[in-house]
Amino acid sequence: MESSVRILAEGLKFPEGPVAMADGSIVLVEIERETISRVAPDGTVSVLAEVGGGPNGLALGPDGAFYICNNGGFLFRTVAGLNRTRPGVHPRYTSGRIERFDPRTGTLTTVYDRCGDYPLCGPNDIVFDHDGGFYFTDFGKNRLRDRDHAGLYYGRADGSMIVEVAYPLTTANGVGLSPDDSVVYVAETETARLWAFDLEAPGRARKHPYPSPHGGRLVCGLPGYQRFDSLAVDAEGNICVATLVTGCITVVAPSGEVLRQVMVPDGMVTNICFGGADMKTAYLTLSGTGRLGTLPWPQAGLRLAYS
């Protein structure tokens, strides 16, 4: 399915984590620039905060602050004309972390850098529920000869609790919630598998038995060499997953049926969010070419808890 993407901003350094704001702007992260940035409705880009490391996922919390999945830093290279990450560890890497940025004061603080005895390796994507907590994925680190297991976690915004929801996953990336907060979805990059975790309570999933490797329920997997990145859920509960290599948004029903693939002009499309008065405008981070794009969407996006 072809799409007509309008480019809002160019010159971004591997944009990700878009958040649609009430004033029509988009706040996002630039992983390579190591910033939180704002794209105004006229396309003007300004830096809100220099956070260092690798700001990767972004969400508005119940207190009006931005919560950041900081992967600790990526390395980059150009492949086939597209900016891409490459294996290896950022020279200033210490750990992954969840950070809080207060736009009113400019204060940046670390909320979590570990879960129990285990340091966070590379937090990737984040979504808030309506109970004041958030789910986030930890992608791990991809080194030259090995990589970490990935995981799904839940934390309270005030820093009072963090728990492991599922482990181990393989390159856990996008995360999103069903409209009633009863299911958390996780997309794995290298397997192109979409998993569902059925929730008994905030931060606690009902585990499915073997052959599930971590207690999740397999929703679908894509054939061929396709790779999943981040995702958003629409108001009907469909999961819209940014799909690398193919360069599209794959729309998956909760039943697992692939409804359609919406092609976009970048094989490194990394994320999607919804905005506009009717929530029928999709915003896309086209990371390979450093652009933010937009297009009309046939279904309304799900309005997030605190956006």
Q: Residue ranges for the binding site for substrate?
A: 124
What count of other Cβ atoms lies within 10 Å of the Cβ of residue 183?
Answer: 20
**How far is residue 187's CA from residue 222's CA, in Å, rounded to a whole number?**
11
> How do the residues of the chain divide into helix, strand and coil, expressed in percent and rounded to 5?
0, 55, 45
**Annotated binding residues, as ranges?**
124, 173, 229
Place of tokens 């997997």: 221
229 is catalytic: yes
> Could you tell me the strand order of the sheet in which 26-30 lies?
15-20, 26-30, 35-39, 45-50
Question: Which one of 125, 129, 138, 229 is the catalytic residue?
Answer: 229
**Annotated binding residues for a divalent metal cation, as ranges?**
173, 229
Q: Please tell me whether residue 142 adopts helix, strand or coil conformation.
A: strand
Question: Measuring CA to CA, which residue among 210, 273, 268, 244 is closest to residue 58?
Answer: 273
Cα dist from 234 to 12, 118, 178, 179, whole Å: 26, 34, 9, 8
Q: Which active-site residues does the annotation give?
A: 229
